[in-house]
Amino acid sequence: MARSLRVRLQTERRRIIERTQAAAGLPRHRFPYRAPLDSNLHSFSRQLIELRIEHADLDATIDRLGDVVPQDELLLRRLKKRRLALRDQIARLVDLLDPQEPA
């Protein structure tokens, strides 16, 4: 199950980056795809790192796409919605790793 989720996230990230590059008319090397790290894939701290990387990638993508004159509003909305979902997932993982109240 975790492997299929990881594969879906990789595929979705690649698709978003490719669509954004095409919409912005930027060459591929401007947005390097960061492959997920391989060791200890099931730990929460590892998932947190990957989510933060993906969130940073989306931030950069949204900023670059916002600078393009003919903006694709639907794509921007989808990217922003995905970024908010990532932020929620990051907050949940942070709470799991470092609870605010003692158990």
> Is residue 41 classed as helix, strand or coil in its secondary structure?
coil
Cβ-count burial 31-42 (b if 16+ within 10 Å, e if not):
beeeebeeeeee
Per-residue tokens: 58? 């989306």
How far is residue 17's CA from residue 11's CA, in Å, rounded to a whole number? 10
What is the tally of structural domains in the chain?
1
How far is residue 31's CA from residue 19's CA, in Å, rounded to a whole number? 11
In a domain, 1, yes or no: no
Mean pLDDT calculated for residue range 64-76: 83
pLDDT band at 30 (very low <50, low <70, confident <90, very high): very low
In a domain, 14, yes or no: yes
In a domain, 66, yes or no: yes
In a domain, 92, yes or no: yes
Q: What is the pTM of this model?
A: 0.56
In a domain, 71, yes or no: yes
pLDDT tens track for 88-103: 999 998 888 877 776 5
In a domain, 29, yes or no: no
Check residues 41 and 77 and name the one with the higher pLDDT.
77
Residue 28, pLDDT > 90, answer: no
Domain containing residue 75:
10-24+40-97
pLDDT tens track for 31-59: 445 545 545 666 788 888 889 999 999 99
Q: How much is the pLDDT for 22?
A: 65
CA-wise closest residue to 14 among 39, 43, 35, 42: 35
In a domain, 62, yes or no: yes
